[in-house]
Amino acid sequence: MKVFIVEDAVNMQAALKDLVCAVADAEVVGVVASEEAATAWAQAHPGLWDLAIVDLTLAQGDGFNIVKELKEHPPCGTVLVFSAFVTDVIRRHCLTLGADAVFHKTQSRELAEYIEQFAPAH
């Protein structure tokens, strides 16, 4: 499983890499910290990722546009939102934009379980 991470906090990038690799046979193929870099990476690597984990608040830009961008350009993989700013309204908005699942950053166990269940299918 090839994983693309969009997260601006370096410590969270490392934690997500560790989590993904601990629960699945995964390779992190891209890590970026801004909306612009995420868009550029996705356009340069179409179909070369199975799972994207996207934070909503970034140093530059936001994750909403990234979710929409990733889902509008097939072939696309599964897009998960993992953010500290998830509310019911934000969750619904992310799902409307095409996110496959939305997790608050306090739900790392649930994120790990989702990835673990997702991984065998790929």
pLDDT digits (tens, 9 = 90+) for 16-69: 999 999 999 999 999 999 999 999 999 999 989 999 999 999 989 999 999 999
Supply the pLDDT for residue 120: 61
Give the per-residue pLDDT at 36. Answer: 97
Nearest to 81 by CA among 117, 111, 55, 119: 55
What's the rounded mean pLDDT across residues 63-92? 93
Can you give the pTM of this predicted structure? 0.95
> Other CB atoms closer than 10 Å to residue 10's CB: what's the count?
10
Task: Say if residues 78 and 52 touch (Cβ distance below 8 Å).
Answer: yes
Cis check for the bond before 75: say yes or no (omega within 30 of 0).
Answer: yes
Residue 121 has pLDDT above 60, yes or no: no
Residue 76: predicted pLDDT = 82
Give the burial class of 79: count Cβ atoms within 10 A of its Cβ; 0-12 exposed, 13-18 middle, 19 or more buried: buried
pLDDT reading at 100 higher than 90: yes
Q: Is the dihedral of CA 16, 17, 20, 26 positive or negative?
A: positive
Q: What is the dihedral of CA 12, 116, 74, 34, to 10 degrees?
A: 0
Average pLDDT over residues 82-91: 96
C-alpha distances in Å from residue 119, one per residue of 3, 44, 92, 97: 11, 24, 24, 23
CATH of 2-121, one of 3.40.50.170, 3.40.50.1000, 3.40.50.2300, 3.40.50.620: 3.40.50.2300
Average pLDDT over residues 106-111: 96
Q: What is the mean pLDDT of residues 3-22?
A: 96
pLDDT band for position 118 (cuts 50, 70, 90): confident
The residue written with tokens 């984990």 in the block is: 53
Tell me the average pLDDT across 78-92. 96
